[in-house]
Amino acid sequence: MFKRIDHMELLTAEPQRAVDFYTGTLGFRVRERARIPQTPNGPLDLVYLELGGTTVEVMCYPDTRIAPRSDERRLGWQCLALEVDDMGAALAHLKARGIEPAWGPMKRPDYARAEIRDPDGNPIELRQWIRK
């Protein structure tokens, strides 16, 4: 019945900054851009980004001021998690672009984890599975 996650939505006040980060830093590719001229909140700009069969839908209501994400825990989705081949190489790639982990890496017998933040402060977990 249920097949897969189709997409995740990412609401931002600065869509080009988000697109630049996800494409330039994390390797997503732009699949499509669209504008919905009329919604209850005004026009809605969309950019669909893809990575490994997963889509992130970057959303922006350009006529509405949106407050940045707070660091408080809240109910609902907590983060986007990306699998990496090599945690050390991934963190070195990010460091070369001025991005330090918010925490980690934490190593366990079966995996390594770390977390970074996107330009809006949204958490992105990095996970390397260690197969035995």
Tell me the per-residue pLDDT of 62-120, one tens digit each, with 9 for 90 and over. Answer: 888 766 666 666 656 778 999 999 999 999 999 999 999 999 999 999 999 999 999 99
Tokens at residue 110, please? 């079966």
Q: Is residue 67 part of a domain?
A: no
Closest CA to 45 of 25, 29, 63, 23: 63
* Alpha-carbon gap, residue 3 to 102, rounded angstroms: 32
Q: Is residue 90 part of a domain?
A: yes
Q: What's the predicted TM-score (pTM) here?
A: 0.85
For residue 45, pLDDT over 90 is answered with yes
The reply to whether 12 and 52 lie within a common domain is yes
CA 19 from centre of chain: 10
Q: Is residue 68 part of a domain?
A: no
The reply to whether 55 and 16 lie within a common domain is yes
Give residue 12's domain range.
Answer: 7-60
Distance set, CA 92 to CA 95, 98, 100, 114 (Å) = 5, 10, 9, 12
